[in-house]
């Protein structure tokens, strides 16, 4: 986005947004106070995920975090079963390595194939689809007998599992303001690390105590729990403001300061841009309580109608 769009100092790089407005009542830095500027600016619709109460945001992100941990566990837990698989099914370590490499390659294309559907139909159906597929793949892995099974479960699980590395950031951007996203993405990376590093530890214990096939049965059980939770608790986060008389709502459009090009480098002009932009950004949004809130059934619809491009 351009500096003009955000009404900030043109010397800042494109994409810079203001997240704090400073007030210095006595012009003393020691008594400085500040207000957080909400960016992106929420609409006045109570159904807007940016207007959700904090517990709804945390529940939504908690389910997403569970999904990330399970997907990374599914991708990385296989290696601890290789010794037992080699002895029981006779797969060479070269074949096992090739299957893992094929999965890593599939991670590169999964997002490209599936993210367009999340953009068009919403995040909820893609999360549910992915969790259901991963549950089915876990069952398939538990019953694996041939090299074809081995290759297919690795490739398919990684194609679908690639969503854990791209769809989550879309969800964070849907629900949280810019000043909150650092914490949310830190939690995301921490959960990803837990799934990547601790799953093989648990998988090794299960392999020794129950056999390698039970590693995948446990994965199927845990994905099944996640699937039920997503079906009944995860709300759609893609939000489109309803147009008024066919015209897109422009609540988020900030007033622009019209400046002649030859005066753009003036220090006073830059200060004007900063002050006017901060005032517009910091103006609170009042939620319109007359707008009907979605019912539980509508919140958990399997998919959402596509957003108009100019509204999204």
pLDDT digits (tens, 9 = 90+) for 168-183: 999 999 999 998 999 9
Contact status, residue 132 vs residue 70, Cβ threshold 8 Å:
no
d(CA 79, CA 96): 8
The answer for 66, left when phi > 0, alpha when psi is -120 to 50, beta otherwise, is alpha
**The pLDDT of residue 309:** 40
- pLDDT, averaged across the chain: 81
pLDDT band at 17 (very low <50, low <70, confident <90, very high): confident
- 110-147 exposure pattern, b = at least 16 Cβ within 10 A, e = fewer: bbeebbeebebbbbbbbbbbbbbbbbbbbbbbbebeeb
Distance between terminal CA atoms of the chain?
15
CATH number of 52-233: 1.20.1250.20
DSSP 3-state of 274 = helix
pLDDT of residue 58: 95
Look at 5-19, 35-49, 87-101 and tell me which has the smallest mean pLDDT: 5-19
User: Which residue's entry shows tokens 């910091």?
Assistant: 282
Other C-beta atoms closer than 10 Å to the C-beta of 31 total 10
pLDDT given at position 255: 43
Residue 112 host element (H or E): helix 93-121
Report CA Rg, the chain. 24
Q: Is the pLDDT of residue 262 over 50?
A: no
Give the residue, 306 or 101, on which the prediction is more confident: 101
Cα(124)–Cα(301) distance, integer angstroms = 8
pTM score over 0.75? yes
pLDDT, position 287: 75
CA angle centred on 50, ends 10 and 250, rounded to 5°: 60
Segment 104-145, tens digit of pLDDT: 999 989 989 999 999 988 999 999 999 999 999 999 999 999
The pLDDT assigned to 270 comes to: 53
Tokens of 107: 């991670």
**Spatial distance between the Cα atoms of 3 and 70, rounded to a whole number of angstroms:** 41
Domain boundaries, the chain: 3-44+251-294, 52-233
User: 3-state class of 8 per DSSP?
Assistant: coil
Confidence band, pLDDT 50/70/90 cuts, at residue 214: very high
């Amino acid at each position: 986005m351009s500096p003009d769009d955000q009404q900030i100092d043109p010397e800042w790089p494109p994409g810079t947004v203001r997240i704090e407005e400073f007030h210095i009542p006595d012009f003393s830095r020691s008594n400085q106070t500040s207000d957080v500027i909400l960016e992106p600016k929420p609409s006045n619709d109570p159904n807007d995920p940016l207007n959700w109460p904090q517990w709804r945001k945390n529940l939504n992100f908690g389910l997403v975090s569970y999904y990330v941990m399970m997907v990374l566990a599914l991708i990385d837990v296989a290696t601890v079963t290789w010794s037992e698989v080699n002895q029981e099914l006779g797969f060479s370590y070269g074949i096992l390595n090739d299957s893992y490499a094929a999965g890593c390659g599939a991670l590169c294309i999964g997002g490209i194939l599936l993210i367009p559907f999340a953009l068009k139909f919403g995040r909820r159906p893609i999360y549910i689809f992915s969790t259901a597929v991963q549950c089915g793949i876990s069952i398939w892995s538990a019953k694996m007998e041939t090299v074809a099974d081995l290759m297919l479960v690795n490739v398919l699980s990684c194609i679908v599992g690639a969503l854990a590395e791209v769809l989550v950031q879309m969800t964070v951007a849907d629900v949280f303001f810019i000043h909150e996203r650092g914490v949310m993405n830190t939690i995301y990376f921490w959960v990803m690390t837990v799934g990547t590093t601790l799953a093989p530890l648990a998988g090794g214990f299960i392999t020794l105590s129950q056999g390698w096939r039970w590693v995948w049965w446990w994965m199927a059980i845990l994905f099944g729990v996640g699937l039920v939770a997503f079906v009944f608790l995860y709300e759609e986060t893609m939000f489109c403001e309803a147009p008024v008389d066919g015209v897109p709502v422009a609540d988020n459009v900030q007033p622009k300061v019209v400046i002649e090009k030859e005066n753009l480098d003036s220090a006073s002009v830059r200060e004007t841009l900063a002050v006017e932009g901060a005032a517009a950004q910091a103006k609170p949004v009042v939620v319109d309580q007359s707008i009907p809130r979605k019912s539980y059934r509508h919140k958990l619809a399997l998919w959402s109608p596509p957003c108009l491009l100019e509204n999204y």
